């Protein structure tokens, strides 16, 4: 029996290509923060969206409307 997905679970994936130098820079910096590369990249992207007031979630009352969710 499979588990039901949580409403805000992360189920979509995005891939990116890096040069060897870029990859090592991201990897080393993430390691310096004691987090994985995926977590680091995810945080960077979400922070960039928030910084530019780009909607990141769906409003429950209107699934076609995005909103910015703040901590």
Q: Are 16 and 22 in contact (CB under 8 A)?
A: no
**Residues with Cβ within 8 Å of residue 56, at least 6 apart in sequence:** 46, 49, 50, 66, 67, 68, 69
pTM for this prediction: 0.69
- Tens of pLDDT, residue by residue over 12-64, are 899 999 999 999 999 999 999 999 999 999 999 999 999 998 888 766 666 56
Q: Are 68 and 43 in contact (CB under 8 A)?
A: no
């Amino acid at each position: 029996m499979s588990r039901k997905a949580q409403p805000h679970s992360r189920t979509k994936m995005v891939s990116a290509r890096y040069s060897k130098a870029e990859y090592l820079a991201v990897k080393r910096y993430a390691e310096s923060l004691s987090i994985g590369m995926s977590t680091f990249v995810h945080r960077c992207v979400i922070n960039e969206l928030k910084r530019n007031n780009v909607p990141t979630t769906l409003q429950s009352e209107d699934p076609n409307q995005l909103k910015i969710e703040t901590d």
